[in-house]
Amino acid sequence: MNNLPVERRRWLKVRIALLGLLLLGYAGRVLLRAYSVQVAEAPVIREHVQRLQTRNVRLSPKRGTIYDRHGAELAVSVDVDTVTANPRELRAAGRDPAATARQLASVIRGLNVETVTARLASDRAFAFIERHVTPQQGAAVERLAIPGVRLEQEARRFYPNRELAAHVLGFANVDGEGIEGIELFMEDSLRGPEREFEAVRDRRGRVVYSDHLLDSTTQRGQDITLTIDKTIQHIAERELALAVQTFEARAGHVVVMDPNTGEILALANYPTYDPNSPGRFDISSRRNRAVTDRFEPGSTVKPFTIAGALAAGTIRANQTFDCGDGSMVVDEENTIRDSHHYTTLTPAQIIAFSSNIGTARIAATMGRSGLYRAMRRFGFGEQTGLPLPGETGGVLRHYRRWYEMDAATISFGQGMSVTSVQLATAMGVIANGGRLMRPTLVRRVVDADGAMVQDNLPQVRRQVIPTATARLVADMMTAVTGPGGTGIEAAIDGYLVAGKTGTAQKADYVTGGYARDQWLASFVGFVPAESPRLVISVVIDEPLIAHAGGIVAGPVFRRVGEAALRHLGVPPNGGGQALAEHSARLRQARREARIAAREAARAEREGRGNPGASEDGSDDSDVDGEEGVVAARNAYAGTPQPIPAVARREPREGETLVPDVRGMSARAALITLHRVGLMPRFEGSGVAVAQEPAPGAFGAVGAPVRVVLQRPRFDVDEAIDPDESGTVASAARVAAPATGAAP
């Protein structure tokens, strides 16, 4: 450098100095920026990074579980995958929305490509692609590894027993919100409060860590234990479905209650639905008819009228009443008739023979106000307070608004309306010694830690009638299910049954009168009569094959009662010889009733008799339509056809072998298919003549099986069941008292 010219050396030094200054300035700027980043802007940068690496998560606690009274799960929440997307991230990765939608549709069956394309093309940061996918579909989506498409965990409501107690439980929607039933009524308890927290996410946007995650997984809504007994509920649903299908009815409902506590053990409706997929069923199938549908109760109200008069002291138990030889003129335009010509009857006989005239005479002793007060005290005309949405209180007009005829007709169940739950609750008054209990469906509510939130103890609303009066009326009602009574088909071998049949023509709201071809058959009672454990109300709406309450609803009461008493371990009355004699008497009484029914049916065909209906809208024959009932009973005589040869293999997981139900009755087919987890869908009535899928095929558990029924031809003279053992393989038995009575 010393050999360089002086001038050049000087410029070189200047340039080196300038370069040094530049480097020093750059270093200073870097240091200043580092200071700014590390100190001055650190909070802002940390917040930005945190936003990139974390996300706000809104957590809805897992919905509480619903149990039956013994702890069996009726409604649970399970974790499932939901496919979501960030359209902005997808667009940043250069992915085409339409192509991505088609790619997703290739692994998710039923995905709407056009809808998904529109969502992916939006400018939003979040979009649902498909909610609640199967594990297999979720795994397939992950394998696609599409930028911006990810799986989220959601809780889905699952009903492990499918249709069981569907109308009680209701269902929750895809967002976990209760829509109907207990799910809706107890929404606040089941859902629990929402929480929001920050969670770390991975490069695909999935939540991988949070201080709150471990704690959040333990958060859940409150658990609810119902009063429902799963076994009794299944029995009630099975027998109700069988009766509706056998008698080709429009609908039906059954309520089973403990009269001593007011606890509802079963509440069944038909038609029904599967709450796991409610959208596949007609909306009418989801109606909880037992609490929302009002109907005129007909003759089932007669015991309450008589109990009210006895409690008021306006009549005596041994008093006789003029029944006008079958006709009583109320005014110039209205006449009350009985189908049989009785002269005088006691209160017990009025119940046993279901005399409209006798009941009206008793009601007259109380006057309008007395009858109205008696009905109100039994709970008619007001809601029961059951924790289910849509409950109606029925209709009982104030006595000041009654017409001349109303005081008479209301006494035997015309001109007023009730619900099945009201009817069962009122019958509980007579069963438990005169106390009106508040019906309960929720037994207890507990939080996630097991602490008791709500414990519903039995509640007595009021003492309606004296205990002695209740016992007296209960004794009178046992004659209904004894020889000559209208409810002989409801009698249970080994147990004393107290009850009342009801057959009412439905109101015609167009004409203002009663529809001639629309009936409502009912039976309500309790068992054992001397120490009641069960109140059972059965209502069958618009049966076609027959319409008398004793014939249509009575057998449902018997079969539900038999199975429920066995389940509860209630021993029969007496034993040994006494029990055998009681069963023999019942068999003989049923046999005589069926013979009487056969004769009545033949007489009607030959024009020698016309059971018909009373002018007041109640049917007093209890024998109309017997040929159809006999046909239904004979439908159980078929024999199964051999299963065609098919290639055999073991069923895969979730599959079951379809049994052969051809030649079986509807009842037998129903039970056979339910045992293997299949759901029958009946067409027609009578014996099963065809089915789809074919016998021997494999079907998914819970899948429907189409069963075609056809009624066989028969001779009515051969239709009386000759079975000396008293077992009848039928869903419907003919029951008509030899003396004749109103239902």
CB 708 within 8 A of CB 593: no
Looking at the predicted structure, is the pLDDT value of residue 296 above 70?
A: yes
Residues 89 and 154 in one domain: yes
Residue 486 pLDDT: 86
Choosing from 60, 189, 285, 299, the catalytic residue is: 299
Lowest mean pLDDT among 6-10, 545-549, 677-681: 6-10
Block residue for tokens 């917040």: 47
pTM of the prediction?
0.72
Looking at the predicted structure, is the pLDDT value of residue 616 above 50?
A: no
CB 634 within 8 A of CB 714: yes
Residue 698 pLDDT: 84
Among the candidates 576, 604, 637, a domain finishes at 576
Residue 45 pLDDT: 59
SS3 51: helix
By CB atoms closer than 10 A (0-12, 13-18, 19+), residue 98 is middle
CB 294 within 8 A of CB 326: no
**Across 41-63, average pLDDT:** 63
Q: Checking phi first, is residue 317 left (phi over 0); if not, alpha (psi -120 to 50) or beta?
A: alpha
Residues 99 and 248 in one domain: no
661 within some domain: no
Highest mean pLDDT (candidates 40-54, 287-301, 600-614): 287-301
- Name the pLDDT band for 531 (thresholds 50, 70, 90): very high
Residues 204 and 307 in one domain: no
Residues 491 and 370 in one domain: yes
Residues 35 and 82 in one domain: no
Which CATH number is 107's domain given? Answer: 3.90.1310.10
Give catalytic status of residue 299 as yes or no. yes
Compare 740 and 316 and report the one with higher pLDDT. 316
CA triple 445-450-451, angle to 5 deg: 70
Residue 341 pLDDT: 86
Residue 542 pLDDT: 94
Q: Distance between CA 340 and CA 602 in Å, rounded? A: 18
- Name the pLDDT band for 640 (thresholds 50, 70, 90): very low
Residue 123 pLDDT: 83
Q: Distance between CA 737 and CA 718 in Å, rounded? A: 19
Instruction: Give Cα separations from 459 to 226, 384, 437, 455, 474 (angstroms).
Output: 16, 12, 6, 12, 22
Lowest mean pLDDT among 199-203, 390-394, 728-732: 728-732
Looking at the predicted structure, is the pLDDT value of residue 9 above 80?
A: no
CA triple 547-551-552, angle to 5 deg: 60
The rounded mean pLDDT for the chain is 80
Q: Distance between CA 458 and CA 577 in Å, rounded? A: 39
**Across 297-320, average pLDDT:** 95
625 within some domain: no
Residues 320 and 411 in one domain: yes
Residue 634 pLDDT: 32
Q: Distance between CA 398 and CA 306 in Å, rounded? A: 20
**Across 627-647, average pLDDT:** 33
Residues 198 and 305 in one domain: no
Domain containing 503 equals 230-576
* pLDDT tens digit sequence for 200-223: 555 555 554 444 444 444 578 999
Catalogue the E-assigned strands of 143-186. Answer: 149-158
Taking CB atoms within 8 Å and a gap of at least 24, the contacts of 31-37 are: none
- Name the pLDDT band for 432 (thresholds 50, 70, 90): very high
Residues 182 and 294 in one domain: no
Looking at the predicted structure, is the pLDDT value of residue 496 above 60?
A: yes
- Name the pLDDT band for 517 (thresholds 50, 70, 90): confident
Residues 169 and 202 in one domain: yes
311 within some domain: yes
* pLDDT tens digit sequence for 398-431: 999 998 889 899 999 999 999 999 999 999 999 9
Q: Distance between CA 734 and CA 541 in Å, rounded? A: 18
Looking at the predicted structure, is the pLDDT value of residue 618 above 80?
A: no
Among the candidates 193, 208, 225, a domain finishes at 225
- The one-letter amino acid code at 239 reads E
Looking at the predicted structure, is the pLDDT value of residue 8 above 90?
A: no
Whole-number CA gyration radius for the chain: 36
Q: Distance between CA 406 and CA 334 in Å, rounded? A: 11
Q: Distance between CA 360 and CA 345 in Å, rounded? A: 12
Looking at the predicted structure, is the pLDDT value of residue 719 above 50?
A: no
- Name the pLDDT band for 714 (thresholds 50, 70, 90): very low
Residues 331 and 283 in one domain: yes
* pLDDT tens digit sequence for 134-193: 888 888 888 888 888 888 888 889 999 999 999 999 999 988 889 999 999 999 999 877
Residues 219 and 281 in one domain: no
605 within some domain: no
- Name the pLDDT band for 573 (thresholds 50, 70, 90): confident
Residue 633 pLDDT: 32
CB 256 within 8 A of CB 535: yes
120 within some domain: yes
- The two tokens of residue 738 are 């030899």
Q: Distance between CA 304 and CA 312 in Å, rounded? A: 12
Instruction: Give Cα separations from 416 to 281, 294, 364, 428 (angstroms).
Output: 32, 9, 17, 20
**Across 279-305, average pLDDT:** 93
Looking at the predicted structure, is the pLDDT value of residue 242 above 50?
A: yes
Highest mean pLDDT (candidates 33-42, 45-54, 223-232): 223-232
* Domains identified in the chain, total number: 3
445 within some domain: yes
660 within some domain: no
Looking at the predicted structure, is the pLDDT value of residue 6 above 80?
A: no
- Name the pLDDT band for 581 (thresholds 50, 70, 90): low
Highest mean pLDDT (candidates 81-85, 120-124, 162-166, 651-655): 162-166
Q: Among residues of the chain, what percentage have pLDDT more than 70?
A: 77
Looking at the predicted structure, is the pLDDT value of residue 565 above 50?
A: yes
451 within some domain: yes
3-state secondary structure 301-325: HHHHHHHHHHHHCCCCCCCCEECHH
Among the candidates 576, 598, 616, a domain finishes at 576
Residue 419 phi/psi, 5-degree rounding, is -115, 165
CB 720 within 8 A of CB 595: yes
* pLDDT tens digit sequence for 346-381: 999 999 888 999 999 999 999 999 999 999 999 999
- Name the pLDDT band for 297 (thresholds 50, 70, 90): very high
Residue 161 pLDDT: 95
* pLDDT tens digit sequence for 72-104: 999 999 888 889 888 888 888 888 888 888 989
Residues 28 and 68 in one domain: no
Instruction: Give Cα separations from 135 to 80, 132, 626 (angstroms).
Output: 7, 9, 54
Residue 2 pLDDT: 60
